[in-house]
Structure 1
Amino acid sequence: MTITTDTARLPLLLTTLRLPTIATLWPTISQTADEEGWPAAKTLATLFEHEVAERVRRRIGRHLTEARLPGGKTLDTFDFGAVPMVSRARIAALAEGDAWLGQGTNILCFGPPGVGKTHLSSALGHALIDAGYRVLFTRTTDLVQQLQTARQDLRLAAAIEKLDKYHLLILDDLSYVQKSQAETSVLFELISARYERRSMMITANQPFGAWDSIFPDPAMTVAAIDRLVHHAIILEMNTDSYRRKSAQARNTSSKAEPTAHPN
């Protein structure tokens, strides 16, 4: 009777303690424990290991959703052979995240369109989320517009502070931001706020010398670059467009295929 009563109470107790995975698995695991004669410590450890693993899985799922990373762009699908100047070992080290993220180091990725900058930044984002970090991927133009709206509503400081929860902020296609579109000093304020505290990864088609088209004045351009490169890892991806080479390969393959003739 005691065992029956305790067994009946378990679902309510586990629900109260917010242990849904244990609530689901305990009958199966306890039966195995009884059959194999497990000590109580092993049974408890097994139950809690499953609970912890499921919580990690759910957390990673939430962080992947909020990160807004492009789908399918992971390190497993990145063609390192097409970009020989990017070291696979170096990227694997960066994917662990702990050292450079803890120091607020930035990653600046330069190269012409189509060489895989977006793919590489997204792949690092995926790996870092798997490692337990929080990441946000955004087109730079979209984020600038959001921050401009926040400034107009007198909540720019709060908007920038909200981004602090992300260990890495990925700004894709910085070169497409133009100061003629609107006042882009909000971008400088974001860079200044994260300086030496939180990391950023920026992809750009243009080198630093062309950034005077982004910020309102030369002094701000110099100051922004100075803050970004003070603690930075620079990845140069100056190679032919991967997309263009892929298209050429497909065209060559299609031309090589024999044409079927009707009998």
Structure 2
Amino acid sequence: DRSSRRIQRHRDQSGLPAGKTFATFDFDAAPGIRKPHLLSLAAGDDWIENGGNLLLFGQSGTGKTHAVAAIGHALIDTGRRVLFCSTTDMVQKLQSARRDLSLPAMLDKLDKFDLIVLDDLSYVRKDQVETSALFELIAHRYERHSLAITANQPFSAWDNVFPDPAMTVAAIDRLVHHSTIIEMNGESYRKRSAVARINADDYDPPNGAPDRPS
């Protein structure tokens, strides 16, 4: 029907990784994550309505991107608009718009998205790209529309991202003011999930043994 087609169109336009949903998220490989908490965020309601933010921290491979993408897919199912992109790509687009004197128009255009997911913020370096435009996006959406950010470095390392310490503090203040912060620590989610699949696929029970270890 029309609603289903609209949801599918929004999903196609979101940039979300197609396979990273809750159906494929291995909660057993992410022991620090509470499933009810993620599902509550996926419902959207209060934090999206109030322009709250979601910050996910953890080393590479701990499942940050999969978790936030799954939340994004679920939000689209509820009728929300979501945009997923790498932080590097977003910064390049913002900087291009600034050069064209169209940054304010681009920021306004991005307002149609209830949530913008910026993946891998820690890979952005101020000595490689002009990151002050990223601060303008954060400031523009503050208390109006939501951002979700994944990062493998703590706030103390964000001076490597923004042009000066004052801008770093201002960006963090705006992101944290109305935010949910999730720490995804422990062994690599990708490694644990892969080992579990290998063990399940390769297990060859001896005669009379159960099909899977108990």
TM-score by length of 2: 0.91
Output the CA distance in 2 between the equivalents of 1:249 and 1:126. Answer: 25
- Which residue matches 2:95? 148
- TM-superposed CA distance for 1:115, in Å, is 1.0
Q: Which residues in structure 2 correspond to 1:16-165 (within 5 Å)? A: 54-165=1-112
Match of 2:148 in 1: 201
Query: Residue 29 of structure 2 contacts residue 193 of structure 2 at CA under 8 Å; is this kept in 1?
Result: no
Pair 250,81 (structure 1): closer, same or farther in 2 beyond 3 Å: closer
Are residues 81 and 254 of structure 1, via their aligned partners in 2, closer, same or farther at CA, if it must alter by over 3 Å?
closer
Structure 1's unaligned 5+ residue stretches are: 1-53, 258-263
Partner of 1:177: 124
Q: 1:250 to 1:67 in 2, by over 3 A?
A: closer
Structure number with the bigger relative contact order (C-alpha 8 A, sep ≥ 6) is 2
1:84-114 superposed Cα distances (whole Å, 9 cap, x missing partner): 2211111111111121101110000000001
Bigger mean CA deviation after superposition, 159-168 or 243-252? 243-252
1:213 corresponds to: 160
- Count of residues in correspondence between the two structures: 205
Q: Distance in 2 between matches of 1:202 and 1:129?
A: 18
Deviations 1:105-146 (A, max 9, x none): 000000000111110111001000000100000000000000
Which piece of structure 1 moves more, 89-98 or 130-139?
89-98
CA RMSD of superposed structures (Å): 1.8
Q: Take 2:198 and 2:2, find their aligned partners in 1: how far apart are those partners?
A: 47
Task: Find the residue that maps to 1:60 and give its secondary structure.
Answer: helix
Pairwise CA distance, 1:245? 3.0
CA distance in 1, matches of 2:63, 2:199: 22
Q: Deviation per CA, 1:173-198, whole angstroms, max 9, x where unpaired?
A: 00000001121000000000000000
Unaligned runs of 5+ in 2: 205-214
The aligned counterpart of 2:208 is none
What secondary structure sits across from 1:65 in the alignment?
helix
What secondary structure, in the 3-state scheme, does the structure 1 residue paired with 2:143 have?
Answer: coil
1:244 & 1:66 partners in 2: Cα distance? Answer: 30
Structure 1: distance between partners of 2:198 and 2:28: 21
Which whole-Å CA distance do the structure 2 matches of 1:194 and 1:248 have between them? 40
Task: Give 1:77 shift.
Answer: 1.1
2:29/2:192 contact within 8 Å kept: no
The CA deviation at 1:253 is: 7.8
One-letter identity of the residue aligned with 1:131:
T
Alignment of 1:215-230 (within 5 A): 215-230=162-177
**Shift in alpha-carbon separation, 1:62–1:249, aligned structure 2, 3 A:** closer
Residue of structure 2 equivalent to 1:33: none
Higher helix proportion (structure 1 or 2) = 1
- CA deviations on 1:221-249 (whole Å, 9 max, x unpaired) are 00000000000000110111122234555
Asked if 1:190 is matched to 2:137, the reply is yes
Q: Distance in 2 between matches of 1:254 and 1:74?
A: 22
